[in-house]
Amino acid sequence: MTREQSYTQAFENQRKILSHKKAVFESAIQNLQNANPDFAKINTRLSQLGAALATTAISGDSEAVKSIQSEMTELSADRAEILKSASIVGIEHDCNVCRDTGYVNGKICDCIHTAAKNLLIADLSASLPLQNCRFENFDLNYYQNTDVDGANPRKRMTAILKLCKEYVISFDPRSSESLLFMGDTGLGKTHLTLAVTYELLNRGFDVIYGAAYNLFSEMETEHFSGHTNTKYNAAINCDLLVIDDLGGEFVSPYIQSLLYNIINTRDLSGKPTIINTNLAMGDIAARYTPRVASRLIKYTAKKFIGNDIRQLKALEKK
Ligand SMILES: [Zn+2]
């Protein structure tokens, strides 16, 4: 789901709920009208008075206007009394700011922003462990606190976790740096980038997250089926693009140029990208062409180190 689609969906959901509420309300009024002749009479009289008020106001007869208004006030009070005794309340809006129209003073209401954001999070959660991969449950204890080949995994990962948290806090879609997370499988790259994604989505930023093989194959399918390049355009224009597991996909000349176009276009417009990969820079150049590698060299690179956490967790369960 793209951000645009999430907004379309949020408006559509709100419209459906409101029209259902209106239908329920109108049918309750209709039933009361059929069951209570006094109520029906009041309604008829009120609409007659409404029409009369319009013509009388134009004639400028202020005494007559006042008299109509006072009768209307009285009848409206009677009507409200009948409605109350029949336990019919007016339409209760979910959002009292926009009265469920989705707009306030020509701008999209916060209720729609929130609904769209939640739809995006729910959509991503359906295919990724977004709920389980948070900063709070990123466990540094899985990383050894002793030097391995001259580097201390615990210290390294503590610094990377801190960097990710700060990245979220100071995130700016026009100036945040691009990140390249390198290192073997099972060292927490996906966990941390999902945590960044969740936090930024929650703050209302437009984040697209996908494994390279999913992202590219969806774009390829879209492109060759002749449809509009919705996925590609979304990846180009979003606030943050996260490509997980670069190197895990089948590479074709089309994918090579697709990847180059995406990262180059984002780079030129100053938009940040985060890439996770098991590949070393030399492998990236060989696999995706040196011009792709020349763009990624500008990214802030962090090498994840330690033991495969998935294996450690599996051992714990035994
Ligand atoms: Zn609202």
List pLDDT tens digits, range 212-250: 999 999 999 988 887 778 899 999 999 999 999 999 888
Cα of 33 vs centre of ligand 1, distance in Å, is 32
Tokens 């030399």 sit at which residue?
A: 282
E runs forming strands in the chain: 103-104, 107-108, 179-182, 207-211, 240-246, 273-277, 300-303
Q: What is the pLDDT of residues 152-166, one digit of tens each?
A: 999 999 999 999 999
Q: What is the pLDDT of residues 159-190, one digit of tens each?
A: 999 999 999 999 999 999 999 999 999 999 99
Cα of 6 vs centre of ligand 1, distance in Å, is 16
Cα of 96 vs centre of ligand 1, distance in Å, is 7
Q: Mean pLDDT lowest for which of 9-13, 194-198, 221-225?
A: 221-225
Rounded CA separation 52/282 (Å): 84
Cα of 116 vs centre of ligand 1, distance in Å, is 12
Q: What is the pLDDT of residues 79-112, one digit of tens each?
A: 999 999 999 988 999 999 999 999 999 999 999 9
CATH 3.40.50.300 maps onto the chain at 128-317
* Domain 128-317 grouped into CATH 1.10.150.20: no
Q: What is the pLDDT of residues 17-27, one digit of tens each?
A: 999 999 999 99
Q: Which two tokens stand for residue 291?
A: 């011009």
Cα of 120 vs centre of ligand 1, distance in Å, is 18
Helix (H/G/I), strand (E/B), else coil: 291: helix
Cα of 108 vs centre of ligand 1, distance in Å, is 8
Cα of 112 vs centre of ligand 1, distance in Å, is 6
Cα of 92 vs centre of ligand 1, distance in Å, is 13
Cα of 113 vs centre of ligand 1, distance in Å, is 9
What is the pLDDT confidence band of residue 312, given thresholds at 50, 70 and 90? confident
Q: What is the pLDDT of residues 278-301, one digit of tens each?
A: 999 999 999 999 999 999 999 999
Percentage, residues of the chain above pLDDT 70 = 100
Separate counts of helices (H) and strands (E) for the chain: 12, 7
Q: What pLDDT score was predicted for residue 316?
A: 80
Of the candidates 190, 227, 226, which has an alpha carbon nearest to the alpha carbon of residue 209? 190
Rounded to the nearest 5°, which phi and psi values hold at 272?
Answer: -75, 150
- The pTM assigned to this predicted structure is 0.83
Q: Per residue in 274-284, is it b (16+ CB within 10 Å) or e — as a string? A: bbbbbbeeeeb
Q: Which two tokens stand for residue 134?
A: 């948070």
Rounded CA separation 294/296 (Å): 6
Cα of 133 vs centre of ligand 1, distance in Å, is 31
Q: What is the pLDDT of residues 31-76, one digit of tens each?
A: 999 999 999 999 999 999 999 998 998 888 889 999 999 999 999 9
Question: Taking all residues of the chain, what is their mean pLDDT, rounded to a whole number?
Answer: 93
Q: What pLDDT score was predicted for residue 59?
A: 86
Helix (H/G/I), strand (E/B), else coil: 103: strand
Cα of 103 vs centre of ligand 1, distance in Å, is 7
Cα of 110 vs centre of ligand 1, distance in Å, is 6
Cα of 89 vs centre of ligand 1, distance in Å, is 20
pLDDT at 13 over 90: yes
